[in-house]
Amino acid sequence: MIIDARTLPNNESLDADICIVGAGTAGLTLAYSLIGTGFDILLLESGGLKPDKGSHALNWGENIGLPYYNLDVARARFFAGCCNRWHVALGNKQLGARIRPLDPIDFEYRHWVPHSGWPFDKSQIETYYDRAQGICRTTPASYEVDTWRRSNGFEVLPLDPAFVKTIIFKFCSKNPFIHDYADAVKRANTIKTLLFANVFSIDLSDNAKKVIALKVASFEGNQFHVRARVYILAAGGIEIPRLLLTSTDKMRHGVGNQYDLVGRFFMEHLHFWSGLLIPFDKKLIGKMALYNSIQIINDVPIIAKLAPSEDIMRRERLINHNIQLIPTIVPRSTLYPYLYPMQNSKAVSAFKSVLSDLKHGRLPSVDNFAKSVTGFDSIAKAAMHKGYRKLGRSFDRRQSQIYRLANMTEQIPNPDCRVTLGEERDQFGIPRVKLNWQVTQQDLSNAVRIQQILAREVEKTGVGRLHIQLSSDTIPGNLHGGYHHMGTTRMHRDSKSGVVDENCRVHGLSNLYIAGPSVFPTGGYANPVLTIVALTLRLADYLTQVLRTQ
């Protein structure tokens, strides 16, 4: 059932078993999963069924750290939320998002990754990942490369998997979410969806141990209360901390913020272009369709990428990282500095010394002269390559196909990378947010080292030569995020280290939960959608059990 909150009488009071705030990926999945449980559900959505300027303006905020998307652009404030913004073209006029589960190492405490570690390992969420594949309609659940390549005869790059492995990403169409699940939620007799319902405060009991109501308002000026047995915030990694921090009636620093953790540890996936992979075999790219573009196999869109092995991450203390290979046509002359690097052999160095001595009227040393004579081949090659590079830029009009490297890497959890409240307020009197996105030296060094390892492996195995275009001292000029707002209400068993516990319940409150990527302690390199859905299914099961035993 759909209700326009603007039509409700002022000071109305609504009651339910479950109240969900936000109808995006997490909120919609949660509501859909609870159909048939018999619980009365209120689903509060700040926007309408379509985008509108008034609701959209509530997303305005200020970026005070690294350059980032305007905060109103980075979020979608209408029914189905950011599912509406999934934009990867999948064919047949479908758009979607990349999906993949986190790796087992992503759940672990890693001593070289500050603040890492989930309160459970991957095995405890594996069944929910499998169920999430069904929700996303990307079964079979396997992500093993051989599952997807053998029946179609796809080749994979002959890299040593002890160092660099081929991985599979799938793509989930947005249609099941914005049509099928959305329609099911709208039709459900046990779910009331309130549109244009803006939660502006969380009311707590006198002892601050329980939520007793949410204060809600619409643009028409009417306000009302929602009372429920349990409340779930599913409004995203920026809006949730904003709401918690502004609710200060019973907790002076905000709900769940007794240890100043709400809004901290904001994480994105670092996206940047860097590196050129120049194949030795001119036909190699033509053979590697699995990497080159999205392939539809058994009605599931997939693509192959590269990632460091778990062993090499442990050995070299690296964070997770994946690389997509983008086929690109470039003038061959631009590749000469990479195809024909200057020879730095001892013979070339000795010959340069001989020339310098002769130029200044000195007799060359016997040792340098001997090395020059015995190393004539190296000297000749160096001279040829130098001339070839100079002449090639002017006369060579041929083109070559190479791979550009599109990188997507995990970000180190950083407490100073955070969401805070600003001075400016929105129409409901709620302070707008400030986002301070930061990148650490470890993030940069990790990216450089990953490319060094890949460069070594592609040359060692005869694949090609990799030209690295990164520096550990400089943030890539094309660095950007992926609209993945993670970590701001992170999960931890200890309330001094996390905002929610292992069941996504806010520490210290008996009936307030959070769904979505803001609870991720670390982000891995995988797009968050599949993990959002898996954690939400897990939360749905837990809430069902809790409510039935109360």
pLDDT in tens, 276-306: 999 999 899 999 999 999 999 989 999 999 9
Instruction: Answer whether 256's CB lies under 8 Å from 244's CB.
Output: yes
Q: How confident is the model at residue 152 (pLDDT cuts 50, 70, 90)?
A: confident
State the average pLDDT over residues 413-437: 97
Q: How confident is the model at residue 550 (pLDDT cuts 50, 70, 90)?
A: confident
d(CA 490, CA 481): 19
Any residues with CB less than 8 A from the CB of 532 and at least 6 apart, and which?
Answer: 25, 26, 29, 515, 516, 517
Give the model confidence (pLDDT) of 26-66 as tens digits.
999 999 999 999 999 999 999 999 999 999 999 999 999 99
d(CA 487, CA 481): 14
CA atoms in the 13 A half-sphere facing the CB of 57:
9
Percentage with pLDDT > 90 across the chain:
83
Partners of 194 in the beta sheet? 3, 44
Give the model confidence (pLDDT) of 79-120 as tens digits.
999 999 999 999 888 999 999 999 999 999 999 999 999 999
What is the pTM (predicted TM-score) of this model? 0.91
pLDDT at 309: 97
Q: How confident is the model at residue 378 (pLDDT cuts 50, 70, 90)?
A: low
Write down the mean pLDDT value for the chain.
92
pLDDT at 337: 65
Any residues with CB less than 8 A from the CB of 207 and at least 6 apart, and which?
Answer: none
Give the model confidence (pLDDT) of 453-472 as tens digits.
999 999 999 999 999 988 88
More confident residue, 398 or 516: 516
Domains in the chain with CATH codes: 1-86+174-269+413-438+484-550 (3.50.50.60), 340-394 (no CATH)
Q: From residue 15, give the alpha-carbon distance in Å to each of 2, 43, 229, 404, 510.
A: 16, 12, 9, 55, 18
Percentage with pLDDT > 70 across the chain:
93
More confident residue, 269 or 379: 269
d(CA 411, CA 441): 11
Tokens of 81: 């939320």
Instruction: Answer whether 44's CB lies under 8 Å from 218's CB.
Output: no
Residue 392 pLDDT > 90: no
Any residues with CB less than 8 A from the CB of 287 and at least 6 apart, and which?
Answer: 155
